[in-house]
Amino acid sequence: MSKDFTQPGISMASIGDQDEETYREVLTCPICLELLTDPKVTPCMHTICCGCLDKWINQKGQEKCPCPVCTIEFDPPTGGAKGLKGNYILNDMLDTLRRRLKKESDSTIRHCDICLNEDEKVKATSKCIDCDQYICKACTKSHIYTKVLKDHKVIQLTGDDRKDTNALLEMIPKRMKFCAFHPDEQLKFYCRSCNEVLCRDCCITTHSGHKCENLNENVKQDMKNIGSLIQISLQREENVNAVIQEMNDYKEKIERNASDMKTKITKDRQAQHDLIDKYYNGEEAKVERFKSEGLKKVDAHINTLQMQNGITVSTRHLLDTQQQYGHPAEIINMRKEIMKKTEEWSKPQELDFDSKFTLTYTHGTSVFLGLRFGQVASLKNIIKGNVKIERDVAPFKDEKMELQDLTVLDNGDIVTAHHKDGINILDPTTHEQKLHVDMNCGSVASAPDNHIAAVDGDSNTLKLLDSNGNIDTTMPSVDAYSTAISPEGTVVVFKDGKLSFINTKTKTKEEKVLSVKDDGIIPSIAVNSRNEIIIAYNNDNSVEGISQNGKNLFKYQGQDQEELNNPWGTCIDPFDNIIVASNGNKLVHLLNPKGKFLRLLVTTKEDQISNPTGVVVDKQGRLIVGKRGKLYYISYLESCVN
């Protein structure tokens, strides 16, 4: 009676019915990746070459050794891998399949193993499964008729490698196994007491009195267990394959989901780009509209002036003619008209352009929480009827910290100077401190490219700082106390009654030096669009305008009861109007470009800004007034209708 003793999961079907690579995978060592040699089985049922497994155990050098396939730990035997069970089933399969798996040619002749012992090469015609020997025709006859060998399974070789291999595989489960202690006796019994497979002689001798059972009967339950384990493995494989399929489906879902998200992002990005483009196109159109309307008004005013000039010139030509060629009687006859025209032309000409405007731009910002769009606005040179403080902020940690000067950079950042307490750079929206510069500074001005011109009070030198507060340049040798910057970027420095000029592009000092009045304390100077310098004289309680050539243009000391008292900060607005902080009497004066009083922007009765020290107009055309610990915002210019 024959039974199937194959390894679980390995069918003994024809090799032609199953992919050859499946056998190769089972019979290949997972370490050396060659066909197994002396295969040994780990407790977790993985088969590895004895030599490879021995090296693996020695490399780990631990009491517990991880399986090289599944990493489950096992206790290595004292003698190493040799002490583990051998996988005899795979060994038998290897002997049968080695020629096939090594791709040896079908034309290779197999010789009789028995005759080879006599140094004779005789072609083999059969193979004895039980002896594991190839035998020739003559030896086959002897094999069959020898009494002790008559039960051996002998397979005739056809010469067709595939057919012969299949026949050998089918006979593997039917081969006989012999006792190691009684080589002529087959293993036919199982000792339940010792859990050992025995031959007949062992049952009588060393296992006398033990409970011995027929091996084929006893193995039936093991075969059922193997079958059950195979079914479990099939179910496990099915479960894993189902999850793998689920994971592959999930991968596709992730891909689809990611693709969908990218499509949505692209769509949103384009929509928001379109929105941004639409918004800024609108702002550009607004600029064009303001420009076009402004130019039309300027052209109309020029036409009016040219027409006035034409009338004046034609009248003068008539007068020239009368003066040269007119008869006294005719001239006397025109006396009344001449007197009237003289009276008319003696009056101040109405040449002013009342429709001046300026464009302001509030920079947009990009922050983590979102975008704030930049915004164009237009301001007219018309003062609001009701000017009041819109808001005040206290951005400084020390509310008692003195503020000496302030300016606004091109990007809108506010820069404040506090003498020995240094320089602070503030965010124009949140008023949070972005940077602090440790410098004794009492005068600052906005330079091109968001740079800061700062007077170093310790060395009385002018330094150019970048937007991060780092010193970019120390300007050439010039003593400095107060500083301002012209629209072209020329730095103007005041010290000891002298005005010096420095080119910020070339970092060179100009030869021109203007000598002006010096009353000891000059806290602030400013420069308008015509490069005229406005100087606040603290001791003299006055503000004076100086031309590029050093000519005095005006002197302002106050209006009626509202005199200047300790003027400190001064600045120029977009229309060249002059703003002065009168520190001693808590006022802020607004003058026209020629130094004539227009009105008070801060009064003592309503506003109560005690001791204002700094003034600047921000990028939105708002006046910022600074004092100890605080900043105040005042909108005083009328806005144009968009």
Q: What DSSP assignment string belongs to 78-103?
A: TTGGGGSPB-HHHHHHHHHHHHHHTT
- 186 and 179 Cβ atoms separated by less than 8 Å: yes
**Can you tell me whether residue 18 is helix, strand or coil?**
coil
Same fold, 1-104 and 398-634: no
User: Once rounded to an integer, what is the mean pLDDT over residues 32-56?
Assistant: 89
Q: Tens digits of per-residue pLDDT, 248-277?
A: 998 998 999 889 889 988 988 898 899 999
Write down the pLDDT at residue 62.
79
What are the structure tokens assigned to 217, written together? 């009967």
Backbone angles phi, psi at 155, to 5 degrees: -110, 130
Maximum CA pair distance of the chain? 177
Q: Is the pLDDT of residue 76 over 60?
A: yes
Q: How far are the Cα atoms of 396, 414, 427, 582 from residue 400, in angstroms, in the given order?
A: 9, 19, 20, 20
Cβ neighbours of 455 (radius 10 Å)? 28
Say how far residue 272 (Cα) sits from the centre of its chain.
Answer: 20
Residue ranges of domains in the chain: 1-104, 219-346, 398-634
**Residue 585 scores a pLDDT above 80:** yes
pLDDT computed for residue 97 by the predictor: 65
- Domain 1-104 falls under CATH 3.30.40.10: yes
pLDDT at residue 528 is higher than 70: yes
Q: Say how far apart CA 524 and CA 500 lie, in whole Å.
A: 15
CA angle, 246 then 249 then 250, to 5°: 85
Q: Which residue has the tokens 């090799």?
A: 15
Question: If residue 245 lies in a helix (H) or strand (E), which one and from where to where?
Answer: helix 215-325
Q: Over the stretch 435-477, which tens digit does the pLDDT of each residue have?
A: 999 999 999 999 988 999 999 988 888 999 998 889 888 776 6
| CATH number belonging to the domain at 398-634, selected among 2.30.110.10, 3.40.190.290, 3.40.190.10, 2.120.10.30 | 2.120.10.30
pLDDT at 1 over 60: no
- Summarize pLDDT for 298-341 with one digit per residue, the tens: 999 999 999 999 999 999 998 999 889 888 888 898 899 899 99
**Global pTM?**
0.58
Residue 368 has pLDDT above 70, yes or no: no
The pair of structure tokens assigned to 568 is 């400190």
Name the H helices within 447-507.
none
In whole angstroms, give the CA distance from residue 342 to residue 620: 46
3-state secondary structure of 39: strand
Lowest pLDDT segment from 24-28, 209-213, 262-266, 331-335: 24-28
Cβ count near 602 (within 10 Å): 26
